[in-house]
Amino acid sequence: MNTPATSLAASPGGAELTQLRVGLGERSYDIVIGPGLLAEAGTRIAALRPGARVGIVTDRNVADRHLGTVEAALGEAGLTPTPVIVEPGEKSKCFAVFEQVVDALLAARIERGDLVLALGGGVVGDLAGFAAAALRRGVDFVQAPTSLLAQVDSSVGGKTGINSRHGKNLVGAFHQPILVLADTGALDTLPLREFRSGYAEVAKYGLIDNAPFFAWLERKWEAVFGGGPARIEAIATSCASKAAVVSRDEKETGDRALLNLGHTFGHALEAGAGFSQRLLHGEAVAVGMAQAFRFSAAQGLCAPADAERVETHLRTVGLPTRIADIPGELPDTDGLMGLIGQDKKVSRGALTFILARGIGQSFIARDVDPAEVRAFLEGERRGG
């Protein structure tokens, strides 16, 4: 991937920050990465929208940890914050909660010259971004991701949306933020399971087309989990990879689909588990990536050793890699095939998967034979 422009800067508090530019013409924006950014949110947002009203969409858990800091920062910068708090978890990405958020933002008199601030993980970012896209036919929004998954993936690129009973992320819009503030200090309060879930998306960038990065993660994953420079480097590398793809292919008409490695299988499993705590999004992606490599190996596209290497690393960091690792009942093979058929990459009924010829050699495979997928899933369900 081509890496977008990267710069180093110091925050007012003296911390070293990494800054990336997502190049989209007049809709370009910065991703700022480093500690202490939530406390600086007011200064940075006021520089873009002085005097604005700010609807802060967040969930109850994140509000307990970070809302006070952000509200104080916005108020000190002359902005008017109004919090909109939803329940944590994937089930908040639904029509009913979307309606509640939009109604609350209208009640707070958020106008087109104001903005929405998404404070939280991927669920909050997707929900708040879609609300901003729909509100008054589009208001600006800022992403302040507080989970690893959101910092390296969902906060960048403008994909917003909610889930339907038919599948994940099937209702939404492309709506780019005007700024992303990835406060790495917020990750210090993240539960280990949530951090692991986000790490699956970090590993994904190595598996797509950056084999040296995947090898680096195999050596350095403990340092990434531990925090410090290795964590910031992993986040910055991931964001740079995604920013480069988004700059080339904003609306997923070409190679942006590569970012969905592991997601076709993973989304089906996530929906099959009821979008519940049984299977977090990143955990589903981990299983899905391992399956994508095993399926690729079964099709003779990559060496079995590559699939084993992917599974070994994901298991080493504590992520699930097989259907048997998912607690509780899941749909049968017909049910999973039905969910796969609702994937956003399906075109006129033809299945599209992101497969691999090796580590860092992923590609878009169109018109994948459903019979081959069905046979593979049957083997997976038998523990093969």
Q: Provide CB contacts within 8 A for 33, sequence distance 6+.
A: 17, 18, 19, 20, 151, 182, 184, 232, 235, 236, 239
Residues of 167-180 as b/e, b for ≥16 C-beta within 10 angstroms?
bbbbbbeebbbbbb
Least Cα distance to 142 among 71, 233, 252, 49 occurs for: 49
What does the alpha-carbon distance between residue 378 and residue 355 come to, in Å, rounded to a whole number? Answer: 19
What does the alpha-carbon distance between residue 45 and residue 114 come to, in Å, rounded to a whole number? Answer: 11
**156 is annotated as contributing to ligand binding:** no
What pLDDT, on a 0 to 100 scale, did the predictor assign at position 348? 61
**168 is annotated as contributing to ligand binding:** yes
What pLDDT, on a 0 to 100 scale, did the predictor assign at position 13? 52
**23 is annotated as contributing to ligand binding:** no
What pLDDT, on a 0 to 100 scale, did the predictor assign at position 167? 84
DSSP three-state, residue 258? helix
Q: Which domains does the chain have, with CATH numbers?
A: 6-189 (3.40.50.1970), 192-381 (1.20.1090.10)
Average pLDDT over residues 351-379: 95
> C-alpha distances in angstroms, 125 versus 130, 177, 268, 365?
8, 10, 21, 29
Beta bridge mates, 58 = 85, 119
Q: Provide CB contacts within 8 A for 61, sequence distance 6+.
A: 88
Is pLDDT at 243 greater than 60 in this prediction?
Answer: yes
**159 is annotated as contributing to ligand binding:** yes
Is pLDDT at 150 greater than 50 in this prediction?
Answer: yes
- Residues 77-112: tens digit of each pLDDT: 999 999 999 999 999 999 999 999 999 999 999 999
Average pLDDT over residues 256-263: 94
What does the alpha-carbon distance between residue 55 and residue 140 come to, in Å, rounded to a whole number? Answer: 11
Is pLDDT at 233 greater than 70 in this prediction?
Answer: yes
pTM: 0.90
Q: Which two tokens stand for residue 310?
A: 């992917």
Average pLDDT over residues 41-45: 98
* Beta strands per DSSP E along the chain: 6-10, 16-22, 29-34, 53-59, 80-86, 115-120, 140-145, 159-164, 167-174, 179-183, 351-356, 362-368
- Annotated catalytic residues are 137, 159, 201, 242, 252, 256, 260, 263, 267, 281
**122 is annotated as contributing to ligand binding:** yes
**251 is annotated as contributing to ligand binding:** no
Average pLDDT over residues 328-346: 86
- What size, in residues, is the chain? 384
Average pLDDT over residues 280-306: 97
What pLDDT, on a 0 to 100 scale, did the predictor assign at position 1? 36
Least Cα distance to 223 among 194, 246, 202 occurs for: 202
